[in-house]
Chains A and B, each alone.
Chain A
Amino acid sequence: MVALVVGCLCPLTGTLLLLQRRLFLANLVSHAVLPGLALALALQLDPGVGGVVSGVAGALLAERFSRADRPGEGGDEAVLNTVLAGFLGLGVLLIPLLGLRVDLEAVLFGDLLAATGFDLLRGLLSLGAMLLLVGLRYRQYVYLGVDPLGAASAGLPVRRLRLLLTLVTACTVVSAMTAVGVVLVIGLMAAPALLALAGASSLRQALWRAALVGIALSGFGFWLAIQPSVNLPPGPLIGVLCLVLLPLGPLLHRDR
């Protein structure tokens, strides 16, 4: 069930980010959650909350040093990668410094077989937040995606819209931690989006398609992983299946 919820949530967030030309943010946030996870564990708090705070902090720090009008371009990549590496390094350092017993491999690459009801609840809450965001701000995100400068001059609350998307991205990453891990989550965000966008005539249609592809991909990956003849960790296997989707996007696009 966690695999299906995450399989739905990640592509929704990924598609929205991709169309805002901000998919780099998912990569950054997925690495930036680590220090928060570690600190929350040390303080005996929910690691998910710590991860969200840390992920958003990393994204805000990167945006602070990037060009506000053209996120993700030019020298911004250097800023993003610096923040990404810094937060990941800090997280890795905090684990021994705080004397934590954390299975770093499970955090980075997932451990779906160890998922609990709480992981499911976290995923459902994040999915609810994502659907609420799209439901209430759909046209504003369309405007922001198709014409960012026009959206700003039309008086749309661009900074607030971006911050909300950053927050939901951090929630998505943390929710996917058990299923595919904070590193592999980026594949589940990006690959279904690529497929869904081929020939889509609206953002709504692209979001639905991406969610369906993600559910199928995640569900199939989990089913395949637990087959006795396969018996592989589900997270990395889902990551590899994302790769298989890659050539399908251009093929579909050519057909339309």
Chain B
Amino acid sequence: MSSPAAGVVSLEVSQIRVRRGDRLALDQVSFSLPPGSFTALVGPNGAGKSTLLQALEGQLSLAGGSIQLHGQALTPALAREHLALMPQRGEIAWSFPITVSELVGLGRLSSKRPGCCDVEAALQRVGLAGLGGRRLDQLSGGQQQRALLARTLVQSAQILLLDEPFAAIDPPSRQELLRVMGQLRDAGMTLLVSSHDWGRDLDAYDRVLVLDRELLADGTPQEVRHALGDLRVGNHCCG
């Protein structure tokens, strides 16, 4: 399938509900992601952030509502073509015997697009040029996260879903990762980044979604802080 307008893809989420066993993990969640937006998805543990990202990637079936990608109902095949998910740190076997280049190259298995998949270019974009031959477990935590981001880039998707990319990395690495994400946004990519953080870093985003099974707030960082203050959920939600 080809994109209607040269790589421009928008995502529309309408009233979605997702069940995890007997529990309703997401309830009536609606928002849209315009092309080239840089959005934070914040909320406490168990708020459904990872569930939402997995649903957007087409891994979970919906109990209600719909997800549309540029006007078409999202299918797993469509999601694989236009969306790429960077998983949480805990999902990765960091001690697996693999070089950084080989890890990044695995993104090729997810993409069928011609002309995609330049591993070296992806490493350069995330600031890891020259480290492709290193073993994955020889990188720092921040570098490992950037290597994962490079693998996501190799998939040549227009929308990147990043699940807790800042978990367990130090502040300088966090700033570096944020800088790389900002560059990707400037290059026209759409990023949705889940996070626990409720500090100054939030100002780096264009927009913030606050989730706790349902969408509590949606707006610019300032608007969301203000709205959460009114709801008196700031401490509960995001520390």
Give chain A's interface residues, CB within 8 Å of chain B: 19, 21, 139-140, 142-143, 145-150, 152-156, 197, 200-203, 205-206
Query: Is B168 engaged at the interface, CB distance under 8 Å to the other chain?
Result: no
**Shortest distance from the beta carbon of A136 to any chain B beta carbon, whole Å:** 14
Nearest to B92 among chain A residues (CB) is A147
| A143–B98 CA distance with the chains assembled, in angstroms | 10
Contacts of B110 in A (CB 8 A): 153-155
Asked if A153 contacts B57 (CB within 8 A), the reply is yes
What is the interface size of chain B, counting residues whose CB is below 8 A from a CB of the partner?
23
Query: Is B197 engaged at the interface, CB distance under 8 Å to the other chain?
Result: no
Asked if A140 contacts B109 (CB within 8 A), the reply is yes
Query: Is B70 engaged at the interface, CB distance under 8 Å to the other chain?
Result: no
- Produce 1/0 per residue, B105-125, CB < 8 A to A: 010011000000000000000
Asked if A143 contacts B106 (CB within 8 A), the reply is yes
Asked if A202 contacts B97 (CB within 8 A), the reply is yes
Asked if A143 contacts B92 (CB within 8 A), the reply is no
Asked if B109 contacts A139 (CB within 8 A), the reply is yes
Which of B85, B99, B136 has a CB less than 8 Å from the CB of A150? B85
Contacts A139-B109, A156-B109 given; does A147 touch B76 at CB 8 Å: no
Contacts of A139 in B (CB 8 A): 106, 109
Asked if B80 contacts A155 (CB within 8 A), the reply is yes
- List B residues 16-61 near A (Cβ within 8 Å): 54, 57-59
Asked if A201 contacts B85 (CB within 8 A), the reply is no
- Produce 1/0 per residue, B62-85, CB < 8 A to A: 000000000000001100100001
Query: Is B91 engaged at the interface, CB distance under 8 Å to the other chain?
Result: yes
- List B residues 133-150 near A (Cβ within 8 Å): 135-136
Contacts of A140 in B (CB 8 A): 109
Asked if B91 contacts A148 (CB within 8 A), the reply is yes
Q: Which of A149, A153, A156, A197 has the most CB of B within 10 A?
A: A153
Contacts of A148 in B (CB 8 A): 91
Contacts A142-B102, A153-B57 given; does A200 touch B97 at CB 8 Å: yes
Query: Is B103 engaged at the interface, CB distance under 8 Å to the other chain?
Result: yes
Contacts of B97 in A (CB 8 A): 19, 197, 200-203, 205-206
Contacts of A150 in B (CB 8 A): 85, 87, 91, 106
Asked if B85 contacts A146 (CB within 8 A), the reply is no
**Shortest distance from the beta carbon of B179 to any chain A beta carbon, whole Å:** 24
Q: Would you list the 9 A-B pairs with minimal beta carbon distance, nearest first?
A: A154-B110, A200-B97, A146-B96, A143-B106, A206-B97, A201-B135, A149-B91, A146-B93, A153-B59
Asked if B85 contacts A153 (CB within 8 A), the reply is yes
Q: What are 30 A-B contacts defined by CB distance under 8 Å?
A: A19-B96, A142-B98, A143-B106, A145-B93, A146-B92, A146-B93, A146-B96, A146-B103, A147-B91, A148-B91, A149-B91, A150-B85, A150-B87, A150-B106, A153-B57, A153-B80, A153-B85, A154-B80, A154-B106, A154-B109, A155-B76, A155-B77, A201-B97, A201-B99, A202-B97, A202-B99, A202-B102, A203-B97, A203-B98, A205-B97
